[in-house]
């Protein structure tokens, strides 16, 4: 655990830091990253010994409530940001809320702007989901020599723009194995093989929450069936409660308070003989 001062100048402790991630190059060590969008998911990631989490920018406060120690990266281009100023404002809000870095798949000018302002910024190369139409669907990127060469040039440009790390999504494992030692950026593999500085999977895939698990993921749990059981148990309990109300068995004598007979009699007498309960029509 490393002591830092966060973006607001407050004392904090982190599992890893930007400096530690950069120092992974050539060390033979790897960090592990997952997604976390809620307080509960962040707390679970910390308890499991995960090093890093990534979340949407708007979820940073919830994630920080779940873990004050995990390295948190905020994805800043999913909230309707259009201009570079929008991106910069979201980045600063994210850092103020407790993020340690931001990630964007936007153009190099965005990365340059963020880096110039001292924002630790990650890029996103390979398959970028928002551009799946341009890629002709969900597919590996870099499966031909020409495409791999173009990809390598993008890595170089991103590094020159000031990114300290890059998410590498659906890149052939052999291609990333060649790129990782040739770039100063920490490489974060999502479906791109083991030869990366950080290994990354979506938490929903890991815990068995996703309706469809992608080829590159591996499932270790069955949260979906537990969630179905919770829903079914909730409906069962509510149905039983309604039935007991309608058949007159709820509430029972043990579930209501009582007044001593003499106290009840005195109360009734205080109401007066003329104050009889109204009869129902």
Residue 133 placed within a domain: yes
As a whole number, the mean pLDDT across the chain is: 94
In a domain, 276, yes or no: no
CA 102 to chain centre: 13
pLDDT in tens, 178-206: 999 999 999 999 999 999 999 999 999 99
Q: Give how many domains the chain has, as a whole number.
A: 2
Do 257 and 179 belong to one domain? no
Which of helix, strand or coil describes residue 215?
coil
pLDDT of res. 140? 87
- The C-alpha atoms of residue 264 and residue 262 are separated, in whole angstroms, by 5
Q: Catalytic: which of 169, 232, 233, 269?
A: 169
Same domain, residue pair 184 and 169:
yes
Q: What is the extent of the structural domain holding 266? A: 227-271
Are residue 246 and residue 161 in the same domain, yes or no? no
Q: Global pTM?
A: 0.88
* 84 and 177 inside one domain: yes
How large is the greatest C-alpha to C-alpha distance in the chain, in angstroms? 100
Reduced to 3 states, what is the DSSP secondary structure of residue 66? Answer: helix
Whether residues 133 and 266 share a domain: the answer is no
Residue 278 resides in a domain: no
Asked if 154 and 179 count as a contact pair (C-beta separation under 8 A), the reply is no
Residues ≥6 apart with Cβ < 8 Å to 217: 191, 201, 202, 205, 206, 210
Q: pLDDT, tens digit, for every residue of 110-145?
A: 999 999 999 999 999 998 877 877 777 888 889 999
Q: Which tokens is 115 given? A: 């880096």
Whether 169 is a known active-site residue: answer: yes
Q: Are 119 and 100 in contact (CB under 8 A)?
A: no
Mark whether 65 and 195 lie in a shared domain.
Answer: yes
Cα gap 14→53, rounded to integer Å: 12
**199 bridge partner residues:** 32, 189
The verdict on 262 and 141 lying in the same domain is no
Comparing CA positions, the residue from 98, 15, 6, 85 lying closest to residue 58 is 98
Look at residue 277 and tell me if it is in a domain: no
């Amino acid at each position: 655990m490393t002591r830092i001062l966060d973006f607001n100048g407050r004392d904090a402790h982190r599992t890893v830091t930007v400096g530690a991630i950069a120092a992974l190059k050539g060390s033979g060590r790897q960090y592990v990253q997952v997604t976390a969008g809620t307080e509960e998911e962040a707390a679970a990631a910390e308890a499991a010994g995960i090093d890093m989490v990534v979340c949407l920018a708007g979820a940073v406060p919830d994630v920080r409530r779940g873990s004050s120690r995990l390295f948190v990266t905020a994805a800043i281009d999913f909230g309707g940001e259009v201009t570079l100023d929008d991106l910069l404002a979201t980045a600063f809000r994210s850092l103020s809320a407790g993020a340690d870095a931001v990630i964007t798949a936007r153009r190099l000018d965005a990365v340059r702007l963020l880096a110039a302002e001292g924002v630790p910024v990650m890029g996103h190369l390979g398959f970028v989901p928002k551009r799946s139409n341009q890629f002709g669907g969900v597919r590996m990127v870099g499966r031909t020599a020409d495409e791999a060469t173009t990809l390598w040039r993008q890595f170089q440009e991103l590094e020159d723009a000031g990114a300290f790390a890059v998410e590498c999504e659906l890149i052939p494992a052999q291609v990333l194995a060649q790129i990782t030692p040739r770039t100063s950026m920490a490489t974060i593999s999502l479906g791109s093989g083991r030869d990366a500085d950080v290994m990354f999977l979506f938490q929903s895939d890991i815990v068995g929450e996703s309706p469809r698990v992608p080829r590159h993921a591996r499932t270790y749990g069955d949260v979906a069936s537990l969630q179905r059981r919770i829903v079914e148990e909730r409906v069962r309990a509510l149905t039983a409660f309604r039935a007991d109300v309608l058949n007159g068995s709820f509430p029972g004598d043990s579930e209501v308070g009582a007044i001593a007979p003499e106290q009840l009699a005195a109360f009734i007498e205080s109401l007066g003989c003329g104050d009889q309960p109204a009869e129902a029509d």
